[in-house]
Structure formats: C-alpha cells, structure tokens
Amino acid sequence: MPGQICQWPAWPEYSTGNDTSEDRDFANTKKAIIDEFGRENLQEAWVRVCKDLSSITDEIIEQGNTIIPICSADEILENGFSTDDKQRIKKTGCVVVRGVLPRAQAEELYIEVHQYIARNKDAITAWPEDTPSMYDIYDSPVQNTIRSHPRHLQLQKLLNGLWQDNSGETSSDPLIYYDGVRDRPPKQVFLGLGPHIDAGSLSRWAAPTYRKVYESIFSGHPENHDAWNLEVRKDAVQDLFKAPSHSSVFRAFQGWTALTPSRAREGSILLYPNVATTIGYMLLRPFFTPPKDEEDIMDASKWIFDESGCRFPGTEKDQSQFLSRSSHPHLRLEGCMMHVPEIQPGDTVWWHSDLCHAVDPEHEGVHNASVAFIAAVPTTPLTKTYIKQQLADTLAGRQPSDTQGTVNETLLKGYRGHEGFSEDARRAFGYYL
Ligand SMILES: [Fe+2]
C-alpha cells in the first residue's frame, strides 16, 4: 500500500515499560485514576478501544496513505474546508494542504534560510549533536516571512476553527508559536523520533486539567471522546513536568511547511492517521499487562488489569510520549505508520496535537530536506499569556522560554525582526495582547 514502511526501522521498543517504581508521580497518578474512575470502567474502555482498533487498523492498512486528506490551499482559502474535508480531517487527525506558498517563493526562501544558517553557523546551535539538522533559530527573516504570510495565517485560522468551544473564552484567531527549522542533508540517518505523541507525556494522566480531556475514555465510554473539544482542552497543563521536549502551548495542529521537495525515505514525516481511538488506547495501556501466551496478545480480554505496578510504556517525564510495536501491539504500527504523500516546496502538513507521528529515519534523496515548523495555535487564555511573553522575549533578544535557548537572535547577521508586518501579522505575533 502507498506510504507503508517496507522495513521497520531500528526504533526503540518499550515492551516492558520503564521502571518507574522509584518515582511516586507515576504510581500516584495511576492510583488517582483508578480511584476516580474505577477498575470496571477502565476494563470496559480497554476492551472497546482494542475492538475498535481492529477495524480502524484494517481500514488504514487497506487504504495506505491515500487515507490522509489532501486539500488545495487555493480551494480552501476561497471556500473553507468542505464537509467531506472536515469529516476526513477529524477522523484521521491530519491533512496535507498543498500550495500554501507559491513554489517559486518557497524555493527562494529555502536558499535564504540555508544561507542565513551558514552565515551564522558559529552563533547558533542545532541537534542532534553528531548530525545537526534541527536548528535552534526562531526569529529568522524566512520563518517570519512564512508565519506572517496572509495565506498561511488564514489557513491557521481555518485549522483552529476545526476545534469547538462554547465558553466564549477562545477564538480561532491564530497566534504564532516560535519553533525551529530543519535542514537535513542526504544520507543522514535519524532514529531519535520514532512513533511519538507530543504535548506532554505523563502530564496527560497526572495533570487534573489535562486528564479531564479524556474523562469519557477513563469512564468506560471511549466512543464518546471528542478529540476536537477545545472547551476542556484550553485549560490543560501540558508541561506539568517541564522539559525542552514539552510545549507549554496548546497547538490545535502541529505543522510543517516544506521548503524543499520530500518523499518517503527522503527525510519526510510519518503519521498514524487516527486520533481519537489511538489516544484512548495509549492512555489505557499502563493499566494492563499483556497475557503470558504470545498468541493471546491481540485478545484484549486476556490482558491483566495492573493495579499495583506503575509501568507506563514509552512514558518518561522529560520526553514526548513514545509508542512501539511490542508495547502497543493493537495499533499495528508496522502497517499503519504512513509516510505522507510526496510534498513540494510551499506545501504544508498538519497533525492534531494527539496524533502519533515519526520523523523519517532515512534520507536517501540527493538534496537537503528542509521544513519550517509552524503550528496552528488558537487564541485562548493560556496561549495568550505565553505569546505575550514570547513577544517581549523576542524583542529583547531572548529566545522564547519553551526553547530554553540562549542565543540573542537580534545580533545574528541578516536579522530583520518584524519589519513590514501587516496588522494581521502583528496581531498573531502578540502585539495587541
Ligand atoms: Fe513530534
């Protein structure tokens, strides 16, 4: 099927889970959830999500990456998402939007950012250390040109609008969250970001405001979980355990804007095109241990409720939430992690904040694979607070607090700040908060 992985990469397995017995935060969290929701509800939910995953994964495997919705920016910026688009995006939790920037402009921006990085090589940092390709720059002219582009801002607003909130405290008006740039050379292997979910790890269970998002799952009714409810989600504390890998800001969608072409096995991205059931499964997984007999693994009723242990497979406080084939077998990751279709400069890829994704471990192409990480962030009380501080930091030459960076970007060669911004762009960058 198109987009499927031919040979599973050497990503880590989390079959037994990390031993967290010395860390009371794990055991206390587990106990709090069992006390609040009860063993029976958790067992009921577990059997249901595993059953649902059976047909969901069949469908994904059958369709391959054709299941990932693709929209034309020209079309949706004119007419909005169609009813069919909305249904497909809400089901899969992801969308490719083509042609947000004209291809020629995106190609020029790539040359510009590549040169900017080269000119400032001694001043800026990048990771991983041995094969740097993720650059810790946040306020460069190219990033700001893309973020402030009227078409990009309009798209962010449409994406934010896929979430619902009746509280009156939020709006889909986009705010700009500073993130980095990748410029990955060919042949560079990268196994550091296998299947994972961002926006916190243990926080999803441990922070009462975050746990509330998943209340219907823990209550035994995972089918009622609304993955697009901003009313509860807006208050969730994602970074209860602060670490560079946790964003403190809610992103309706994480996203990348392509500056170069990218194909499967050429520095692309892989998505798991289901959101609501997958997150339910991930959240219930620590409450169960697998049956001893390997043949019973896919039979959810044979998994044993684990009240006493505190192993959370793939969960570490300072890391994103990781998943693997052996620890999360019902996800059938091998067949369901999909390379996105071929992407051209100016195209964008977006995925829900609870969506499992992975960085392409390979880059067998002949050109650098480069993207700017630009998310869709709605206006909420929490996002406003962060973006306001981010602007103050940026103007003072400090890198934003989530990045934990220490470079004064205003001193970089070619720095241009926010000159020439439209009113809409200034609003999105926090000037009127
Ligand atoms: Fe990620």
- Tens digit of pLDDT for each residue in 87-136? 999 999 999 999 999 999 999 999 999 999 999 999 999 988 888 899 99
The pLDDT assigned to 59 comes to 97
Given a cut of 80, is residue 20 above it in pLDDT? no
Cα separation, 317 vs 323, in Å, equals 14
CA of 373 to the centre of ligand 1 (A): 10
Residue 5 — pLDDT band, cuts 50, 70, 90?
Answer: confident
Question: Mean pLDDT throughout 183-194?
Answer: 88
CA of 196 to the centre of ligand 1 (A): 6
Q: What is the average pLDDT score of the chain?
A: 95
Residue 19 — pLDDT band, cuts 50, 70, 90?
Answer: low
Reading phi first (left if > 0) and then psi (alpha if -120 to 50, else beta), residue 115 is in alpha
| Residue 341 lies inside a defined structural domain of this protein | yes
- Tens digit of pLDDT for each residue in 252-279? 999 999 999 999 999 999 999 999 999 9
| Residue 249 lies inside a defined structural domain of this protein | yes
DSSP-derived 3-state class of residue 113: helix
CA torsion through residues 40, 42, 48, 50, sign:
negative
Given a cut of 70, is residue 150 above it in pLDDT? yes
CA of 105 to the centre of ligand 1 (A): 26
Question: Mean pLDDT throughout 27-35?
Answer: 94
| Residue 17 lies inside a defined structural domain of this protein | no
CA of 9 to the centre of ligand 1 (A): 17
CA of 236 to the centre of ligand 1 (A): 19
Given a cut of 70, is residue 319 above it in pLDDT? yes
Residue reference for tokens 């991205």: 269
- Number of folded domains in the chain? 1
The pLDDT assigned to 397 comes to 96
Which of residues 311 and 425 earns the better pLDDT score? 425
Alpha helices of 64-140 — where are they, by DSSP H? 73-79, 83-92, 103-119
- Tens digit of pLDDT for each residue in 373-393? 999 999 999 999 999 999 999
Could you give the percent of the chain with pLDDT greater than 70?
Answer: 99
CA of 299 to the centre of ligand 1 (A): 30
Residue 18 — pLDDT band, cuts 50, 70, 90?
Answer: low
Question: Mean pLDDT throughout 176-196?
Answer: 92
| Residue 3 lies inside a defined structural domain of this protein | no
CB atoms under 10 Å from CB of 2, counted, come to 13
The pLDDT assigned to 361 comes to 87
CA of 41 to the centre of ligand 1 (A): 31
- Tell me the two tokens of residue 345: 């400069």
Give the residue numbers spanning the domain of 315: 24-428
| Residue 185 lies inside a defined structural domain of this protein | yes
Query: Which CATH number belongs to the domain containing residue 267 in this structure?
Result: 2.60.120.330
| Residue 2 lies inside a defined structural domain of this protein | no
- Tell me the two tokens of residue 150: 């009227």
| Residue 7 lies inside a defined structural domain of this protein | no
Given a cut of 90, is residue 345 above it in pLDDT? yes
Question: Mean pLDDT throughout 219-241?
Answer: 96
Task: Specify whether the CB–CB gap between 5 and 269 falls below 8 A.
Answer: no
Residue 23 — pLDDT band, cuts 50, 70, 90?
Answer: confident
* Residues in contact with 331: Cβ distance below 8 Å, sequence separation at least 6, in sequence order: 53, 57, 272, 278, 281, 323, 356
In angstroms, the first-to-last Cα distance of the chain is 48
- Tell me the two tokens of residue 230: 């901003």
Write down how long the chain is: 433
Cα separation, 244 vs 198, in Å, equals 11
- Phi, psi angle pair for 88, to nearest 5°: -70, -40
Residue reference for tokens 């901003």: 230
| Residue 420 lies inside a defined structural domain of this protein | yes
Residue 17 — pLDDT band, cuts 50, 70, 90?
Answer: low
